[in-house]
Amino acid sequence: MLPMLLLFGLLGVMMYFMSRRQRRAQEQQMQLQNSLAVGDRVMTTSGLYGTVVDVSDDSKIGIEIAPGFETEWLRAAVREKVGPEVEDDEDVVEDDDETVDDELDTVEDRDEVVDTDDDVTADTRDESKKADTKK
């Protein structure tokens, strides 16, 4: 009888902690949805990024997903607020140039390794020929 009581007690404690964690997550989600303001950058549950442009309705919000293209979403569809969108294209171009330079260095290093392997293979062939002529 005692093991049965311990089992039910343990089960009750586990259920209590699980429901507490779920309740806390629901409260955080409600706080997020109520704190949305025009200009906030958000991500929806489907992974779409956009900027909040209309919060006049209690259950729906307007999100601009591209310049001049607004869509209407349920507040519940907003997963999280994200950082502001980076609009400085010059930094992106500079980063791309650095990436290309790094890739070129990698390719040059790889070519050196291949050249070294070719020399070793050629030396091995020469030694094989010498060994065959000695026989």
Predicted confidence (pLDDT) per residue in 64-87, tens digit = 999 989 999 998 899 998 877 655
What is the reported pLDDT for 71?
93
Instruction: Give the number of domains in the chain.
Output: 3
- CATH number of the domain enclosing 45: 2.30.30
Do residues 106 and 73 both lie within one domain? no
Q: Is the pLDDT of residue 134 over 90?
A: no
- pTM confidence score: 0.49
Task: Answer yes or no: do 102 and 79 share one domain.
Answer: no
Surface-to-core class of residue 71, CB atoms within 10 Å of its CB (0-12 exposed, 13-18 middle, 19+ buried): middle
**Do residue 93 and residue 134 come from a single domain?**
yes
Grouping H, G, I as helix, E, B as strand and the rest as coil, residue 55 is: coil
Domain containing 94 equals 87-135
Q: What is the pLDDT, as a whole number, of residue 43?
A: 93
Give yes or no for residue 99 having a pLDDT over 60.
no
Q: pLDDT tens, 1-56?
A: 888 888 989 999 999 888 888 899 889 988 988 888 899 999 999 999 999 999 88
Using the structure block, give the residue that is written with the tokens 């404690």. 13
pLDDT of the residue at 33? 86
Question: Looking at residue 86, what is its pLDDT?
Answer: 56
Residue 94 identity: E
**Residue 11: per-residue pLDDT:** 92
For residue 56, the model assigns a pLDDT of 87
